[in-house]
């Protein structure tokens, strides 16, 4: 989404939010009865904002993201998004029988981009994620980090205003993850996408976000949120990132203790 049409640019200034989650609750019914997973969540993501959703394992982060994605419906409350969000998960979910370029072109085709323009646009997106020259590579020829870059390019190819990311870098080694944090920050700033990013890694949450939202567990409620005023470019080892991470980790520990998890 490097270039916005005039209408899209206007939308961005007139629409006050990219996602609006209002009083959302979600229950699942299983063999053990009804389980309230999310309880009265209210949260907005502003246009161009980067929000991380942080919480212990099982607190309902993925459930909330799936609701925002429209993959499931809330039990109560409403969710509105400005257009259809793009998704990126921990598993890259690329089609293994297609090349990197063709995976991206598929998203462009679904978006209605003319056939004659798809290849150039796919190559531009591969450049954006610093994979220029990998158009013809098959998925099995790419490293884990490269696959996640292609998945990111494919998500951006959807030209959504909102990008939903569920622990997309969790399976990567620390150095690759650090590089991709830098790339994601750069792309976010270049494209002015809104991002709702789920993680249980506090440092990652602080490294990336303008706002960190902490969810409690059983049921998931918004426990607290922090505005992260640290200048970009940030690094995961920056003192300011470390200090805020310590404060947030204390809160997260408190949440986990309250619910008897480890
Ligand atoms: N489709 C479903 N049916 C029944 N229970 C579900 C379903 N989806 C999630 N749950 C339950 O909801 C709770 C929250 O799950 P969720 O996957 O949202 O947690 P999470 O915060 O993403 O955890 P993690 O950090 O481990 O990914 C869990 O107890 C899970 O078992
Ligand atoms: Mg999850």
CA distance 39 to 87: 23
Tell me how far CA of residue 221 lies from CA of 35, 68, 210, 242, 255, in angstroms.
14, 16, 20, 25, 11
CB 38 within 8 A of CB 24: yes
- If asked whether residues 109 and 80 sit together in one domain, one would say no
Q: Is residue 90 part of a domain?
A: no
The environment of the single-atom ion ligand 2, i.e. residues with CB closer than 5 A, is: 62
Among candidate residues 212, 155, 148, 228, the one with its CA nearest the CA of residue 181 = 148
The residues of the chain scoring below 50 in pLDDT are 1-4, 9-10, 12-14, 262
Query: What is the strand order of the sheet 86-88 is part of?
Result: 86-88, 162-166, 194-199, 50-54, 211-215, 222-227
Residue with tokens 């993959």: 71
Residue with tokens 């290849």: 119
Nearest CA to ligand 1 atom 20: 58
Pick the atom of ligand 1 nearest to 198's CA.
22
- If asked whether residues 185 and 103 sit together in one domain, one would say no
Measured in degrees and rounded to the nearest 5, phi and psi for residue 149 equal -65, -45
Residue 68, domain extent: 6-85+161-260
Pick the atom of ligand 1 nearest to 30's CA.
4
pLDDT at 259: 74
Nearest CA to ligand 1 atom 16: 60
Cis link prior to 219 (omega < 30° from 0)?
A: yes
Of 114, 143, 159, the last residue of a domain is: 159
- If asked whether residues 243 and 155 sit together in one domain, one would say no
Helices and strands of the chain, counted as H and E runs? 8, 9
How many residues are there in the chain?
A: 262
Burial class (CB in 10 A: 0-12, 13-18, 19+), 138: middle
pLDDT at 91: 81
Counting the structural domains of the chain, the total is: 2
How far, in Å, is the centroid of ligand 1 from the Cα of 28?
A: 9
pTM over 0.95: no
Q: What is the DSSP string of 88-153?
A: E-SS----TTSBHHHHHHHHHHHHT--HHHHHHHHHHHHHHTT-TT-TT-BGGGS-HHHHHHHHHH
CA distance 58 to 200: 10
Whether 57 lines ligand 1, by a CB cut-off of 6 Å, is: yes
Q: Is residue 37 part of a domain?
A: yes
CA distance 95 to 90: 15
Tell me how far CA of residue 7 lies from CA of 10, 12, 13, in angstroms.
5, 9, 10
Considering Cα of 154, then 101, then 171, then 208, what sign does the dihedral take?
A: negative
Q: What is the CATH number of the domain that holds 234?
A: 3.40.50.300
pLDDT at 14: 47
Nearest CA to ligand 1 atom 27: 57
How far, in Å, is the centroid of ligand 1 from the Cα of 66?
A: 10
- If asked whether residues 192 and 252 sit together in one domain, one would say yes
- If asked whether residues 69 and 182 sit together in one domain, one would say yes
Nearest CA to ligand 1 atom 30: 58
- If asked whether residues 141 and 246 sit together in one domain, one would say no
Among candidate residues 206, 204, 231, 221, the one with its CA nearest the CA of residue 259 = 221
Residue with tokens 């789920």: 198
pLDDT at 15: 59
Q: Is residue 1 part of a domain?
A: no
């Amino acid at each position: 989404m490097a270039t916005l049409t005039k209408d899209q640019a206007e939308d961005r200034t007139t629409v006050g939010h990219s996602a609006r989650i209002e009083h959302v609750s979600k229950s699942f019914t299983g063999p053990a009865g009804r389980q309230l997973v999310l309880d009265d969540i209210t949260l907005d993501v502003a246009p161009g904002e980067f929000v991380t959703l942080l919480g212990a394992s099982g607190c309902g982060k993925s459930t909330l993201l799936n609701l925002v994605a429209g993959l499931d419906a809330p039990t109560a409350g409403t969710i509105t998004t400005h257009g259809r969000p793009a998704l990126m998960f921990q598993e890259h979910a690329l089609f293994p029988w297609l090349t990197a370029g063709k995976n991206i072109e598929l998203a462009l085709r679904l978006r209605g981009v003319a056939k004659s323009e798809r290849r150039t646009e796919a190559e531009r997106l591969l450049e954006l994620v610093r994979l220029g020259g990998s158009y013809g590579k098959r998925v099995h020829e790419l490293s884990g980090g490269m696959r996640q870059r292609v998945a990111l390019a494919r998500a951006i190819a959807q030209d959504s205003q909102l990008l939903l990311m569920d622990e997309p870098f969790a399976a990567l080694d620390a150095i690759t993850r650090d590089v991709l944090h830098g790339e994601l920050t750069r792309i976010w700033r270049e494209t002015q996408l809104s991002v709702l990013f789920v993680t249980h890694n506090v440092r990652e949450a602080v490294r990336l976000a303008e706002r960190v939202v902490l969810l409690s567990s059983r049921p998931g409620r918004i426990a607290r949120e922090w505005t992260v005023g640290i200048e970009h470019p940030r690094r995961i080892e920056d003192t300011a990132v470390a200090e805020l991470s310590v404060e947030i980790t204390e809160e997260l520990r408190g949440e986990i203790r309250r619910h008897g998890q480890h």
